[in-house]
Amino acid sequence: MTSKRLQQLFSFLEESPDDAFILFAIAKEYEKLEVHETAFEYYHKLVTIDPDYVGTYYHLGKLYEEVAQGEKALKIYQKGIETAKKMKDQHALSELMGAKMNLEMEL
């Protein structure tokens, strides 16, 4: 399943195969299309290629929550919190801590 937007993103990816923003956009597009397994693949590829791309952790954690894998979401949030601290990204740190706390209260 591909959308016109995905086709464009894949053409960009051919030119820059390790571009974090493009990988993130592809993951989000698959998530929007509810092709969760492929979205997970791209999020995990992004975490491998650019582990300091802090925004990945929040969105990957939320996707795990959406598919009822709360424990995996907690681990991703924790890894994101550590990364946000390392990168001194206070905004991401705040979002990740809030997401983790809310999930812990639900579990």
Q: Cα-atom radius of gyration of the chain, to the nearest Å? A: 14
Q: What is the pTM of this model?
A: 0.93
The fold adopted by the segment(s) 4-106 is 1.25.40
Distance CA 57, CA 78 (A): 9
Distance CA 38, CA 88 (A): 30
Residue-level pLDDT, tens digit, the chain, 107 residues: 568 999 999 999 999 999 999 999 999 999 999 999 999 999 999 999 999 999 999 999 999 999 999 999 999 999 999 999 999 999 999 999 999 999 999 98
Question: DSSP string covering 31-64, please?
Answer: HHTT-HHHHHHHHHHHHHH-TT-THHHHHHHHHH
Domain ranges of the chain: 4-106
Which tokens is 45 given? 């590829």
Judged on CB neighbours under 10 Å (0-12, 13-18, 19+), 81 is: buried
